[in-house]
Structure 1
């Protein structure tokens, strides 16, 4: 059997806490979950789920937002209040 080594990386503390809870609910440790991930990546030579960018940051949306900001700064258009979703 190969020698075990430590792998260290940083993540948001809330994310870690939530992942620990999910792993515990599945009867896994975070170490076991990350080991499963690493073995799957190694075996399949790919990330075992879809990775995609948030469409909010797409080039077309960023251009739209920059145009809207320029219009507001030029005194055109109407600035709206932010409405929070309370659901």
Structure 2
């Protein structure tokens, strides 16, 4: 089987994390991409759904509250689990 080189641009962090994952699976990047492309051909499209996640309003509100709390300097922050446990026990 003849092979043909392909050049793609990938976010550096995504590439690093994917390389680690693929190595854990015994694959290199080229093999993983080949598997993906073959699955696309077998499915006659992407082998997974591509969609914008639809969160419930309550989930979106909780995410916004977490974002607000994380930026609020008046909310105590803890760097260790021990500090958090101590604060909860007070």
Please tell me the TM-score bracket, short chain as reference. Answer: 0.5 to 0.7
CA distance in 2, matches of 1:54, 1:19: 22
Task: List structure 1 segments (4+ residues) > 6 angstroms apart after TM superposition.
Answer: none
Name the count of aligned residue pairs.
62
How far did residue 54 of structure 1 move?
A: 4.4
In structure 2, the residue matched to 1:37 is: 36
User: Within 2, Cα distance between the matches of 1:36 and 1:30?
Assistant: 10
| Distance (whole Å) between structure 2 residues aligned to residue 23 and residue 10 of structure 1 | 18
Could you tell me which runs of 5 or more consecutive residues in structure 1 were left unpaired when the two chains were aligned. Answer: 57-80
Report what 1:82 is aligned to. 68
| RMSD (CA atoms) | 2.6
TM-score with structure 2 setting the length: 0.58
Correspondences of 1:2-41 after superposition (within 5 Å)? 3-41=2-40
With the length of structure 1 as denominator, give the TM-score of the two structures: 0.60
**Unpaired segments of 5 or more residues in structure 2?**
56-66, 72-76, 78-90
Distance of 1:37 and 1:9 partners within structure 2: 14
